[in-house]
Amino acid sequence: MPASGYSLSGKVALVTGASNGIGRAAARMLAAEGASVIICYNKGADRAEALLKELPGSGHRTQQLTVESAESIAAAVAATKAAFGKLDVLVNSAGFTRPVPHNDLDALDDALFDSVMVANVRGPFAIIRAFRKLLEDGGESVIVNVSSIAAFTGSGSSIVYCASKAALDTMTVSLARVLGPKIRVMSVSPGAVATDFVAGRGRPELEKLAQATPLKRVVEPEDVAMAIMACVTHLKATTGSYITVDAGRFLA
């Protein structure tokens, strides 16, 4: 019996950005609950293959997926359809940022602004659009978008990162309205997480940030993955909402 008591046996889950960080932790938990997991990666083929060998259960596979590329997304849809004929869980964990001081407007040039918005907003939308039919074929399917508290605090690695996650949250609400009843759409909003997602932010800085939160603990990738699992397995009557995973940082 899975740890949660909610088996995902027979379910198919696709996780973007699954070769590292939050996506990797989510892929592990989905597999542990019995799902067949499609480990999507952009450039981390070696990490994805290593994760594939570690996952419990069977039916897992890796899939190259560049969220900015329509051709790459189409290939992932075709491969998923051929292998499984449906999709039950989609976790949009892939994303991009680059630290830019908020007051340095000149450093946030058009090219960087566009690249973050394409990866963090257009990319997830394009993936949802492309996989919609397979998700509908899954029946009671769920999409979980990995967002950030930066969406509503306006404080994050860069102004454009905050803007992109705010857009992702709004898109989550809009999609929840139109994709029900067959598909639920949720966001999970972490604070600073112990991954290498933000360049130059190491464990000492995370520990310092944690001391300013009510729970005084660093948020680990597994903490966020557990919130993703709650969206999938427990929150059956919830759609269009977000779950904050920040050790209370937003309250501080």
For residue range 68-124, list pLDDT tens digits in order. 999 999 999 999 999 999 999 999 999 988 999 999 999 999 999 999 999 999 999
Q: Give the CA count within 13 Å in the CB-facing half-sphere of 55.
A: 30
pLDDT at 211 over 90: no
What is the arithmetic mean of pLDDT over 45-56? 95
C-beta of residue 147 within 8 angstroms of C-beta of residue 172: yes
- Going by C-alpha positions, the residue among 249, 222, 244 that lies closest to residue 155 is 249
Evaluate if residue 60 carries a pLDDT over 70: yes
Active-site residue, selected from the candidate residues 6, 41, 161, 242: 161
Handedness of CA 34, 36, 42, 47 (dihedral sign): positive
Altogether, the residues listed in the chain come to a count of 252
Task: Sort residue 92 into left (φ over 0), alpha (ψ -120 to 50) or beta.
Answer: beta
Enumerate the β-bridge partners of residue 92: 145
Domain assignments of the chain as residue spans, ordered by start: 12-251
Query: Which percentage of the chain shows pLDDT scores above 90?
Result: 75
- More confident of the two residues 55 and 5: 55
Q: How far apart are CA 227 and CA 222, in angstroms?
A: 9
Distance CA 188, CA 145 (A): 6
Closest CA to 215 of 192, 189, 249: 249
- Residue 200: both structure tokens together: 């130059």
Does the structure show a pLDDT above 60 at 4? no
pTM for this prediction: 0.93
Residue 37 contacts residue 93 (beta carbons within 8 Å): no
- Chain position carrying tokens 């952009």: 42
Class for domain 12-251, per CATH?
alpha beta
Active site residue 161: yes
